[in-house]
Structures are given as C-alpha cells and as structure tokens.
Copies of this chain bind each other. A is one copy, B any other.
Amino acid sequence: MIPFTVEEYHGRLTQTKLRMQQKGLDVLLITDPANMNYLSGYDGWSFYVDQMLIVSLDRVQPIWIGRKMDANAAKVTTWLYEDNILSYPEDHIHSQERHPMEFIAGVLQQLGLATCRIGLEMASYYFSALAYEKLKKSLPDARFQDASLLVNHVRLIKSNQEIDYIRRAAKIAAIGMQSAITSIQEGVRECDAAATIFKHLISGTDEFGGDYPSIVPLLPAGKNTSTPHLTWTDRYYTENEIVIIELAGCHRRYHAPMARTLSLGRPSEEVTETSKILVEGLNTAIEAVKPGATCEDVEMAWRKVISKYGIEKDSRMGYSVGVGYPPDWGEHTASIRQGDQTILQPNMTFHMIPGLWFDDYGVEISETIRVTETGCEVLTEFQRELIIKDQIDIAI
C-alpha cells in the first residue's frame, strides 16, 4: 500500500518539473533516497548501492533504476508502472570493472536524453564522487548542472496527509521519550535504556506502528553531554549525572524529533539555570513562529533571550524536517538561524533544537512544530522543562 494517493505524487512531480524548467533542466537524476521516496514511494534499505530516479520533462512517470534484486521492492512500494522499473545486473555491485552509472548512462542514451541539460544532486549522500565521474565520462555530450535540494525545496510545505504522518510520529516520539525517562536510572546500563527506547519507537501505538528513525537515539551522559552526537555504551548510569535524550518517532518515513534533558538526582545550579534559559528561549522562539515571519526572525527571538543571560550560540536552533532516511532526518533547506530569510508558510515543519553545549556539560530540549495558518502548533507533547529523577522518585 503506497502511503499517498497517485494524485499527490503527480502534484509533487508537477512542482518538481516546474522548478526544473526554472533552472533550465530537461532531466533530473535523483539519488537522495528521501527524494526518491517522495516522488515514487520507493522504500527499501537498498541505498547502500547506487540507485536513481530519472525525472524527465517529457515523461509522465519517473523511471526507477536500481539493483536487480531490488526491482521487486520497487514494484511493491512505488506507484510506477512496471515498465518504468529498470535494474542493472548483479555483477555491477562493488565491482572494479563495472559501475552502475555506466549502465544508467546507457539507459539515458536509449531514452534519447544523453545530450540534455541534466540536473544532479551533487550534495546527496549516496551519489559518490566516483559515481559522478563515471556518469560524466559515460555521457560526454550531456550538460550537467547542480540541482541539489531542488526536490527538498518542494518538500518544504507538507500536505495534510504528510502532517498526519508527522503527527503520528510525534505520538510515537512521546512514547519513546516516556520509556527513556522511565528506564534511565542509576545502575541501569546505557544499552538497556537504548533497547527499551528502540522497542517503543518501533512498536508505536496500537493504531499505528513505528518505522526506523533516520538517526538512532542519541544518549550522551555526564560530561559527554558537552557534545550531542554520541550514542550509548554498556556503561551503567551513576547517581547525580545528566543525560540528554534525542530521538525521533517515525511513521512511513516521516519524522518528529524531540530532545529532553534528564537529571538523575538533584541537578547542579548551572544545569538548572541553563535549562531555564533554554526553555525560556525555546518558548519565545515558538511564539515568534507564524506565517510571514522569516527563519531568522525566529532565531532572533531565541537569541535575544539567551544574550540577556550572556550566552552566545553559533549553531542554528532549528531546521526543516519530514521524510528521511539515514543518516539524517533534516531536509537541508530552511534553517532557523541568522541569514536564513525563508518565509514561514502554513504546513512547514521544523525541529526546533536549541542545544547549549559547554566544556563539561550540555542541555538540549527540542520540539517538532508546524507552522499553522496563524501561528505555531507544537506537535511533540511532553514536559518541556528539565526532568529531574530524584531519589524520592526512584523510591516510589
């Protein structure tokens, strides 16, 4: 069952083709798995080999090309006619003699597209420098142009069905966060807490299941909260340490990320203070979200709060979020930061993540939000303030 109507896919394609025309492109070669999913529905863990969606202005449907053993996955998960699902032979996999891009170039030639103006997703994770070189060499008469993020920009404003999936993801995120708060305590191994979180994120609710998030739960603890992207070990949690939990619920590849900071035992004064500042800043930024405001307006609201307390933060405090595959759930388009003049519009969705990291500790508290017709809706529902598990709680 594809997750959207065929009409919705056609609408996305129309938007994509409009942007292609604006950029003077005849053909767009899509290698970002999130963009492949967005336009075709394709969903399989096969992005570790070369695969592609060909969008051509003169064709109604895109063409999927991937590895032979994955062609049936394309038949099952996409809305494309079987004629538009092509595959390259298995001897192209991790081969020193043959590269999938040579096969793909052959297909483009057969389609009469070898001398066209072709857009490439130059910044896509799974379009390697080698793939680029092979493609250029195999299509010497094509005129290539960087079309990174072209489809990502189409993704910026969500449909109601997409919002519905993100809402479900947000419910799953809250369940995952509750399981984290419950399971993390002195004497428990980090891996066992991570295992419990995973179980809840993947089970989801009785009504809908969870999908794998594009990033695993991030669980820095103690001094390691000074950096955000550590996962877990088999160390035991100790008394009086803080733990940052960043996770996402995911449903049909749509994400709702959320972060909270947990204190085992009474937090230090500086953690308490930093958390309060962070929540005040986050609340103020959320209040600044409304159609017509820019991303940098929202960041300014946050910045004003923290600078009142003498804190500077150079990393962005949010980014657009939606459909995604590992290694990232961010859309790489709009960021909530200085200089980003993206104008907010209804049904844009952001992960607002104002982390503050110092030399020997850090605090992260974040929400996934939707821009509404008049303001902002926070999709992730969970106690926003620093969460304290005191011995009294543990005794209960």
Residues of A within 8 A of B (CB): 43-48, 68-73, 76-77, 89-91, 93-94, 120, 122-133, 146, 148, 189-192, 194-196, 198-204, 208-212, 215-216, 218, 224, 226-234, 314-316, 319, 326-328, 330, 332, 335, 355, 357
Contacts and interface: CB of A to CB of B under 8 A. Distances in A.
Nearest to A331: B94
A48 B43 CA distance: 20
Contact of A196 (B43, B199, B209, B316): B199
B209 A69 contact: no
A1 to B, nearest CB: 8
A195 B191 contact: no
Copies assembled: 2
Q: Which 3 pairs across A and B sit closest by C-beta, in order of nearness? A: A191-B209, A209-B234, A72-B227
6 contacts: A45-B231, A89-B314, A122-B129, A122-B133, A128-B129, A209-B233
A296 to B, nearest CB: 13
Given A129-B132, A216-B212, A234-B208, A229 B198 contact: no
Contacts of A90: 314-316
Contact of A70 (B198, B227, B316, B355): B227
A133 B230 CA distance: 30
A198 B204 CA distance: 13
Nearest to A355: B69
B45 A216 contact: yes
A69 B315 contact: yes
Given A69-B315, A227-B69, A195 B210 contact: yes
A227 B126 CA distance: 21
B133 A128 contact: no
B202 A194 contact: yes
Contact of A94 (B45, B227, B335): B335
A128 B231 CA distance: 24
A195 B91 CA distance: 34
A229 B67 CA distance: 11
B209 A73 contact: no
B211 A231 contact: yes
A43 B332 CA distance: 23
B125 A130 contact: no
B194 A227 contact: no
A195 B189 contact: no
Contacts of A203: 191-192, 195
A215 B315 CA distance: 30
Nearest to A210: B191
A228 B48 CA distance: 13
B315 A93 contact: yes
Contact of A128 (B125, B190, B191, B327): B125
Contacts of A335: 93-94
Contacts of A215: 45, 48
